[in-house]
Structure 1
Amino acid sequence: MSLPKMVRVKQLFPRISFDDAREAVQSELVSIGIESIIKSGDTIAVGAGSRGVANIAVSVKAIVDFLKDLGAKPFIFPAMGSHGGATPEGQTEVLYHYGISEQTMDVPVKSTMDTKIMGETADGLPVFLDQYAADADHVVPVNRVKSHTDFNGSIESGIMKMLAIGVGKQRGANMYHRAFFSYGFEHVIRTSAALLIDSGKVPFGLALVENAYGETALAKAILAKDILSTEQKLLAQSKEISAKLPFDTLDLLIVDWMGKNISGTGMDTNVIGRYMQNFEPEPDKPSYLRILVCDLTEESAGNATGIGLADFTTKRLVDKFDKKATYMNCITSLGPQKSRIPFHFDSDREAITVALDTIGLRPPEDARIVRIESTLKLSQIHISESLLESAQLMSSLEILSEPEPLGFDSNGNLPPL
């Protein structure tokens, strides 16, 4: 089969960022008057999640150091639902991968799957909280605000979601995901998080927003009473500066890497245009006929949730598939369809060849193809020659090369992008 030539292209996104994350976070804490809320001797549970958030370790360290300077006694707990294989050790290991440990933070990291019921929503849903966090005087969530991979709403992924699902561990995550079927994502998140906020347990939270390059664009400390309204504004900002692909329709999207540190669904569904969610409609665009994902990140620790969003994959990715971690994640989120193992092949070359054999009447050499490193890194991409004319008309794209043949190593795999 004759494969299309590819062209290296640079996407030009708005680049809002700052140099010193620690200073930015601590300035935010000063700006909302934390010292008037936290008393000396208060125990404070700082929640950190399972996502690969830029500057997460720096931000968490900035918070715990600030709290210690006030005489408080902070500790860190994993606020990640059922992730990390739904074990205390596994969740501690996830934090360690992101640079968060007792050694790096100089505070205890307390991990348990035990929870306490803090009350019930108006719908009769129990609201769970990590037992260590429940025993503390205060709970401080730290999370990135961004589009969710399962639904669209005025709040999606952020502090509110962490207060509903993350801090509730496996019991909470399991309950809320089941409730989504009856009440919808946003309603369950809003009502569950609101109960914790209204209880007075949460004095403030820290929201992080990333730009299209995966860098921290802004950090915002938010008092409890303002979390909902501020998060709505931050979500709109996040969507405005988030990375997207420049083409709405493709014959084949090649994704080099998927993983939990990239997206909760391995690949960002808003980038690839596939939700595969039981009660949410598929987006009209983008619309990509075939998707090939080639490998799983080491940081995922075998959790291949989202592999089923692709049509094709490789044996090397499937060999990294940890059934326990993946199944636990998908059963809890009630999304087993997202981790069905697709057709998988010994090499990238074989997978690409088969994929292009399933695109209809268009000759493979004329296929509309985009190759990306991951859905988190979209600044430099490869596009097939058939897309070049359209790309030359886009002011947001810079052409970096002449058309070049797809290169493969001795094993038939693509070299790094």
Structure 2
Amino acid sequence: MLTGELSNFVPLPRMIPVRQVFDAPTINDIEGELRKELNKEAIRNSIKAGSRVAVGVGSRGIANLPKLVVTLIHQLKEWGAQPFIVPAMGSHGGGTTEGQIKMLAELGVTEESMGVPILNSMDVVQIGTLDDGTPIYLDEASYRSDAIVFINRVKPHTSFKGDHESGLLKMMAIGLGRHKGTLAIHQHPLAEMPVLLPKIAEVYLKHAPIAFGVGVLENAYDKTAHIEAVTPDELILKDKELLIQAKKYMPRIVPEQVDLLMVNEIGKNISGSGMDPNITGRAASKAPQQFNAPQIERIFVRGLTKETKGNACGIGVADVITRRVFEQINLSYTYANVITSKILDSAKIPVIMSNDREAISTALRTCYHIDLQNPRVVWIKNTLELENILISESVLADMKGDPRIQVLGEPLEIAFDSDHNITTDIWRGMEHG
């Protein structure tokens, strides 16, 4: 811990609330756009009247997910099909039926809200193997259905990079493989996933009744930007093409040089990696980053989200935390996550300071080539909400009228309480700014 008089602390500079401006196409009529895609001839003809259709659902962090799923189900019913939902989330929810039903409910997907049953069992059928002998599994209820459809957001993965990351192929390969399938696939290093996913997809397309997938893209403000229904013969190519587009829609921290990034909260509901390495440029998996992330010297994490329930996966890429944050960590949840993923660096504990003021001072003092009188500081709520952020006056000066930055107010003196923790609650006002 730091010791000494308060005057020895490096102060936090005045912070300016700003809005980051991104190119952000948005779909306003979600139901209409999805129905248009579903009624493409090849998609419509893939479903026969009277057929039992497994609808794979389960990805976290999809805007408008309940509306997308219920629209898909209504369309299937109108075609005379008998749809049911299958949790397509691999080993999430602890790899248990109870945990996955709870996760779906938290996403707004229940039997009551969707009007169809949820068939949830961890039973799987082996439908093939890869050349190296890796078994490929499929949810049993889905395997015994007449048709399988699934809906997933296509986006950059936080732990591996390539032509195929998080998207339609991953929903098939890992989501529909349930817990047993996920464990089998994760025997391979994460770096191999972009090559493995299309190989696994080929097994699914040959041995499973895949009818179509629905890919969803989101813009930098987490609004639905694109919806596309994809036939089986297009799945592998379209998964690649949609990922390219998704990367163009990604938000970012606009300032390019940052001495200190302050992150108010991290959590599994924010990113699978706690804080998205596509935003910070830091990946515990050591995966190469393909985005123009800023050069950030120090990261200070101020808290965990309530929703993460103590799972501090991703804390290992931070440099400094407070004892308050350390005491929020549930090591059992965190270790279970990183051991399953085999990314142990994600759970390493950063330097622990007593309070916010000590953490800020330590982070700034340990930067190289820094002007301590005018440090470049950026403060974000989390890596998912990047529209409204705070930047120091030196950062604004560096931007030199960049149109991607809109100033929302005057520079603020950030207040601390008697325990030297920040009391200024800037986010509530900025969210409505």
What residue in structure 2 maps to residue 415 of structure 1?
425
Counting matched residue pairs gives 415
CA distance in 1 between counterparts of 2:289 and 2:238 reads 28
- CA-CA distance at 1:33 after TM superposition: 4.0
- CA-CA distance at 1:261 after TM superposition: 2.4
What residue in structure 1 maps to residue 393 of structure 2?
385
The structure-2 alpha-carbon separation of the partners of 1:44 and 1:85, relative to structure 1 and needing over 3 Å to count, comes to same
Preserved contact between residue 85 and residue 325 of structure 1 (Cα < 8 Å): no
Residue type of the partner of 2:374? D
Where structure 2 has 5 or more consecutive residues not aligned to the other structure, the ranges are: 1-8, 428-433
CA deviations 1:353-411 (Å, max 9, x no partner) are 33223224635442211111111111111111111112233122112223222234676
Preserved contact between residue 97 and residue 299 of structure 1 (Cα < 8 Å): no
The structure-2 alpha-carbon separation of the partners of 1:314 and 1:143, relative to structure 1 and needing over 3 Å to count, comes to farther
CA distance in 2 between counterparts of 1:320 and 1:160 reads 35
Superposition pairs for residues 239-388 of structure 1, below 5 Å? 239-277=247-285, 280-281=287-288, 285-345=293-353, 347-360=355-368, 362-388=370-396
CA distance in 2 between counterparts of 1:5 and 1:215 reads 31
Greater shift, 3-12 or 313-322, is seen at 313-322
CA distance in 2 between counterparts of 1:346 and 1:139 reads 53
Preserved contact between residue 252 and residue 293 of structure 2 (Cα < 8 Å): no
Preserved contact between residue 43 and residue 229 of structure 2 (Cα < 8 Å): no
SS in 1 for 2:49: coil
Preserved contact between residue 127 and residue 208 of structure 2 (Cα < 8 Å): no
- CA-CA distance at 1:244 after TM superposition: 0.9
Higher radius of gyration, 1 or 2: 2
Q: Does 1:78 align with 2:105?
A: no
Q: Does 1:100 align with 2:109?
A: yes
Q: 2:120 aligns with which of 96, 111, 126?
A: 111
Residue type of the partner of 2:198? R
- CA-CA distance at 1:316 after TM superposition: 4.6
SS in 2 for 1:10: strand
CA distance in 2 between counterparts of 1:282 and 1:210 reads 20
Q: 1:192 aligns with which of 200, 204, 220?
A: 200
Preserved contact between residue 245 and residue 378 of structure 1 (Cα < 8 Å): yes
CA distance in 1 between counterparts of 2:85 and 2:416 reads 45
What is the root-mean-square deviation of aligned Cα atoms in Å? 2.2
- CA-CA distance at 1:271 after TM superposition: 0.5
The structure-2 alpha-carbon separation of the partners of 1:329 and 1:234, relative to structure 1 and needing over 3 Å to count, comes to same
Where structure 1 has 5 or more consecutive residues not aligned to the other structure, the ranges are: none
Preserved contact between residue 4 and residue 364 of structure 1 (Cα < 8 Å): no
Residue type of the partner of 2:31? R
Residue type of the partner of 1:146? K
Preserved contact between residue 212 and residue 241 of structure 1 (Cα < 8 Å): yes
Preserved contact between residue 170 and residue 332 of structure 1 (Cα < 8 Å): no
CA distance in 2 between counterparts of 1:326 and 1:87 reads 17
CA distance in 2 between counterparts of 1:337 and 1:89 reads 29
SS in 1 for 2:105: helix
Greater shift, 402-411 or 92-101, is seen at 402-411
The structure-2 alpha-carbon separation of the partners of 1:315 and 1:42, relative to structure 1 and needing over 3 Å to count, comes to farther
TM-score calculated relative to the size of structure 2: 0.89
Superposition pairs for residues 218-237 of structure 1, below 5 Å? 218-237=226-245
What residue in structure 2 maps to residue 165 of structure 1?
174
CA deviations 1:149-189 (Å, max 9, x no partner) are 122212211011111122222222222222136x7121111
Greater shift, 323-332 or 235-244, is seen at 323-332
SS in 1 for 2:270: coil
CA distance in 2 between counterparts of 1:237 and 1:96 reads 30
Greater shift, 302-311 or 143-152, is seen at 302-311
Greater shift, 264-273 or 33-42, is seen at 33-42
Preserved contact between residue 128 and residue 172 of structure 1 (Cα < 8 Å): yes
